[in-house]
Structure 1
């Protein structure tokens, strides 16, 4: 089973039973039942329980939006803390390889390595709030 439910196979104008909804979205029937308890709209209280495709798709998208974490320009997403965190002591490394730029630092709370991609134009803005060590590497084939 995938870690994320698949949206691409869900037909919006079709009704699904719990097992069919589980199959097209790539999750287990138990997950679909949990989603119903969490607020996934079902057509009515009769058996078999039917779920409209558009309701299933909207529910999955809403769940994904709820998990997103916004970060400021000087913040990183820490995988261990599962929150937006600042760089420890305000230090970060900036690695430029070709046209790709990556900031790397340590989490201020758990000291895990955290990183995020940025554009090269944002380096001066970020360097106002973080002490950056910029390293430029030539791309290799």
Structure 2
């Protein structure tokens, strides 16, 4: 099973049984039943239980939006802490390849390696708050 439910196979104007909804979204039928008890709209009085495709899609999108964590330009998202964290000791490495920059640092709380892509044009702004070690890779060396 995927870690995230799929949206691309769900048809908005189709009604799905629990098993069909599970198959099209790539989760288990038990997950669909949990979602139904947690707020996913189902058609009342219908047997078998039917779920509209647009309701299923909207529910998955709303669950994703709740989990989304916005980070500031000088912070990272730590997958271990599941929170926005600063770089340990305010230091980060920056690799620039073909106009794209990738910041790498350690989490201040748990020491996990953090990374995040940023635009190269934002590096001066980031350098005001983080001690950056910038490494540029020449395009001709590839």
TM-score, L = length of structure 1: 0.95
- Equivalent positions of 1:6-85 (< 5 A) are 6-85=6-85
SS in structure 2 opposite 1:77? strand
Structure 1 Cα separation of the partners of residues 27 and 84 of structure 2: 28
1:100 is matched with: 100
TM-score, L = length of structure 2: 0.95
1:113 is matched with: 113
How many residues are paired up?
Answer: 141
Structure 1 Cα separation of the partners of residues 71 and 127 of structure 2: 16
Structure 2 Cα separation of the partners of residues 59 and 11 of structure 1: 14
1:87 is matched with: 87
Residue 127, structure 1, aligned to residue 127, structure 2: yes
What CA deviation, in whole Å up to 9, does each residue of 1:26-56 have, x standing for no partner?
Answer: 1110010010111000110442111111000
Moved runs in structure 1, 4+ residues, more than 2 A?
none
What CA deviation, in whole Å up to 9, does each residue of 1:61-102 have, x standing for no partner?
Answer: 101111111000110011111111000111111111222211
